[in-house]
Amino acid sequence: MSRRPFDPRLLRRVPATRRQFAALGLLGVAAAVVVIAQATTLAALLAGAVGGQLDRAALAGFVAAVAARAGVVWGQGVVAARAAATVKAALRGELLGAVGRRGPEWVAGQRAGEIATLAGRGLDALDAYFTGYLPQLVLGVTVPVAVLGRMVFADWSSALIVAVTLPLIPIFGALLGWQTEAATKRQWRRLAMLGGHFLDMVAGLPTLRAFGRERAQVDVVHRMADEHRTATMRTLRIAFLSGMVLELVATLSVALVAVPIGLRLLDGGIGLETALLVLLLAPEAYLPLRAAGARFHASMEGVTALDAALSLSTVETSARADDVPGVVREIRLESVTVEYDRTVALRDVSLTIRAGERVAIIGPSGAGKSTLLGLLLGFVRPTSGRVLVDGVDLATLDLDAWRGRLAWVPQRAHLFAASLADNIRLGAPGATDEAVRIAVRSAALDEVVEALPDGLDTVLGERGHGLSSGQRQRVALARAFVRDAPILLLDEPTARLDGGSEAAVLDATRRLVAGRTALMVAHRPALLAEADRVIRVTDGHVVSLAEAAA
């Protein structure tokens, strides 16, 4: 039905499914045996009934075969559902891991809405593939082979007709599957665009309302939804037409077997029990392929999402991962250039940061200051040049271990809908309650905690709703305190704060950077005073280095 009905990358990326797929194959073989047994016993039972006798052994065998077939179908459903759950969990984990490794710039480039749609609705569509299409695909291999083998011994001429007509179903299915695949990809692209645009619109709703443009965006969403509806209906039209074609081919093929059997039975050229057996087995040979064709169209959205997830979650890694040095003595950028799709963020930058040094970075907005921090976090990879940690290329280090040496305070701290204590423990999940309280005092957050109804156990709203910008920044500083990392990366922690909040954050920042290696993006003179030297970045170039005033 498809040019690639099963993606072999699944076995490599999700090895836990290998046993489940093996079990599915064994159940397919068992199903083929049960089909033969059911047809054989039913043919004997009907032949005896026509002769006026009830074959009790055949009746018992038929009942047992029906029960066994029901059990096999149930087993296939259970195994397939578990495989689907395993794959979805693994791929969602890989997507989140890829986001963590590649960083926010990659997410922005791939559109956060597309990734969210893929991780949610897209991977959920895999249920139809695993529980519907894949079991039928297995039966489409095992059952026809078993049926043909049994028919060869029962009536070779009928087996020859089945062998000649059976390939017509996968041939027609493949031709129709190519059309369905293209249509489903168009449908998925429309859905991803709709999800991404809707997420962008919700995130920017305050701005849209301020400029009176929310109604216009509603019209855009309506138009995109209508385009997705049109693409979905085109896909369904192909599915319905292809289903009719496959049913017609299967029906005509069964008729080519049934008509000669009927004529030979009238002439006495074949026994009644044999004729009944052939007539019962012939539809069974075509049934799994017809069902696989029908289920294929229902599963195509999941197959498309699977391919997208496997492609997006693939992260280029080095052949080996070096250990992070125990004590980082020097971080050095050698002729680093970072290019994005439409701009160059950094141009041939060389910079050395020594252990215990506090370096401030200044420059206009968009000059490349945050990109410097992104390089050290591993969120950004140099287009050319290298980032060296004690002489070892950062690209070859274990990034998780390297990030364990870093504490990052961004411009806008992201808080989660969890307790305040859990938000502070984000970088140190094993931190004790006492460590959290010390971090709260160090970040000048204790008065805020006392004012909350449940103190540190207060559950914050989404994105820290209920706290001011200054309070959210102090939570970010508390995270850095409790993490107690030797290297600090601060991205304008006092930006967009009022005077009172800025003073509190600056005081906490002074305590935080004391005795640590720090790289600080800063504009305020008070923060610059804490730096050992100041770097000015303009248009991606380091244009001057100056010793900070004592």
Same fold, 9-312 and 330-547: no
Cα–Cα dist 275/362, whole Å: 89
Tokens of 205: 């709703």
> Residues in the chain with pLDDT < 70?
1-7, 100-114, 117, 173-217, 235, 238-239, 242-243, 297-301, 312-321, 463, 494-501, 524, 526, 544-550
Positive or negative, the CA dihedral 46, 47, 49, 54 is negative
Cα–Cα dist 385/349, whole Å: 9
pTM of the predicted model as reported, rounded to 2 decimal places: 0.57
Q: Note the pLDDT of residue 318.
A: 41
Residue 448 to residues 169, 326, 474, Cα–Cα distance (Å) = 70, 37, 10
Domain extent listing, the chain: 9-312, 330-547
Cα–Cα dist 422/429, whole Å: 8
Residue 238 to residues 182, 223, 242, 245, Cα–Cα distance (Å) = 11, 23, 6, 11
Write out pLDDT tens, residues 54-92. Answer: 778 888 988 999 999 999 999 999 998 888 888 888 888
Sheet holding 487-491, edge to edge: 406-409, 487-491, 517-521, 358-362, 533-538, 541-547
Q: Note the pLDDT of residue 2.
A: 43
Phi, psi dihedrals of residue 269, rounded to the nearest 5°: -80, -5
SS3 at position 268: coil
CATH class of 9-312: mainly alpha
Q: Note the pLDDT of residue 548.
A: 40
Q: Note the pLDDT of residue 214.
A: 63
Q: Note the pLDDT of residue 63.
A: 92
Query: Which residues have a Cβ under 8 Å from the Cβ of 268 and sit 6 or more positions away?
Result: none
Q: Note the pLDDT of residue 456.
A: 85
Write out pLDDT tens, residues 328-358. Answer: 888 999 998 988 777 888 888 888 889 888 8
Domain 330-547 sits in CATH 3.40.640.10: no
